Amino acid sequence: MTEAHGHPGLFVTLEGGDGAGKTTQAALLEAWLADAGHIVVRTREPGGTEVGVLVRDIVLHHRGEVAPRAEALLYAADRAHHVESLVRPALARGEVVIQDRYLDSSVAYQGAGRVLGRDEVRDLSLWATGGLLPDLTVLLDLDPAAARARLDADDKPFDRLEAERESFHERVRAEFLALAAAEPDRFLVLDAARSADALAADIRSRVASILG
Ligand code: TYD
């Protein structure tokens, strides 16, 4: 594996709205890489560590308002601990980390609330992680109405953010697309309305090209 990003491993993140199919794609990519002999760590934010599980419970299941700056700090705290205790050590060992959500989620979701600016949310995460950026970020782009239909079919109760208004999810989507446009080398943007197999094939081919 090349060491283009200051570590011998590979850091892949999956982003997109709720219901875009990140979990399915993470599982398919993990299976493919493991078959090829890589050691794969699959994880997520919020909640990839024991501390993170506690933070996840506050940000997703607390009833009532959480002040926007407090919410941004909670995600950043989860991220700081996760990166230091799990992600960086795995990358240093040369492993592949496949992660459901990372700092782009903070910019898109916390920034889309309109109270906090894109740059301040991003800077907070960069401070929290010592500047760790993914080698590849797969954005599964999906119209919020289609995503909503998928979540409805799931029959699980909505968490705090899933229950936000449609306009919020439109802004989140637009913010993800703007982030991808600003960093085209890091992002792979895919139309998540396509079949899971077709999406997985595109993701595999990008990852294969990075691995050389
Ligand atoms: P998600 O990871 O999709 O978990 P689940 O599959 O169980 O719904 O949901 C986490 C929620 O947290 C999602 O609505 C996006 C939100 N979120 C933020 O607002 N900011 C962040 O920095 C992260 C990582 C997630």
| Cα(195)–Cα(189) distance, integer angstroms | 15
- What is the per-residue pLDDT for 1? 53
- What is the per-residue pLDDT for 148? 83
- What is the per-residue pLDDT for 4? 61
Fold of 10-211: Rossmann fold (3.40.50)
Q: What is the mean pLDDT of residues 185-207?
A: 98
Question: Which percentage of the chain shows pLDDT scores above 90?
Answer: 80
Residue with CA nearest ligand 1 atom 24: 45
Q: What is the mean pLDDT of residues 14-25?
A: 94
pLDDT, the chain, mean:
93
- What is the per-residue pLDDT for 147? 86
Residue 186 zone, left/alpha/beta (φ > 0; ψ -120 to 50; rest): alpha
- What is the per-residue pLDDT for 166? 83
Say if residue 152's pLDDT is above 60. yes
Q: What is the 46 CA–ligand 1 centroid distance (Å)?
A: 6
Q: What is the mean pLDDT of residues 75-95?
A: 98
- What is the per-residue pLDDT for 161? 66
Q: With cut-offs at 50, 70 and 90, classify the pLDDT of residue 186.
A: very high
- What is the per-residue pLDDT for 18? 85
Residue with CA nearest ligand 1 atom 3: 18
- What is the per-residue pLDDT for 3? 57
| Cα(113)–Cα(51) distance, integer angstroms | 25
| Inter-CA distances, 169 with 7, 27, 67, 95, 110, Å | 34, 25, 19, 33, 11
Residue with CA nearest ligand 1 atom 6: 18
Judged by average pLDDT, the poorest of 30-34, 43-47, 167-171 is 167-171
Residue among 60, 102, 129 whose CB has most ligand 1 atoms within 8 A, to mutate? 60
- Most confident region among 59-68, 77-86, 157-166 by mean pLDDT: 77-86
Q: What is the mean pLDDT of residues 105-109?
A: 97
Q: With cut-offs at 50, 70 and 90, classify the pLDDT of residue 78.
A: very high
Residues touching ligand 1 (Cβ under 6 Å) are 18, 44-46, 60, 75, 100-101, 105-106, 109-110, 159, 161-162
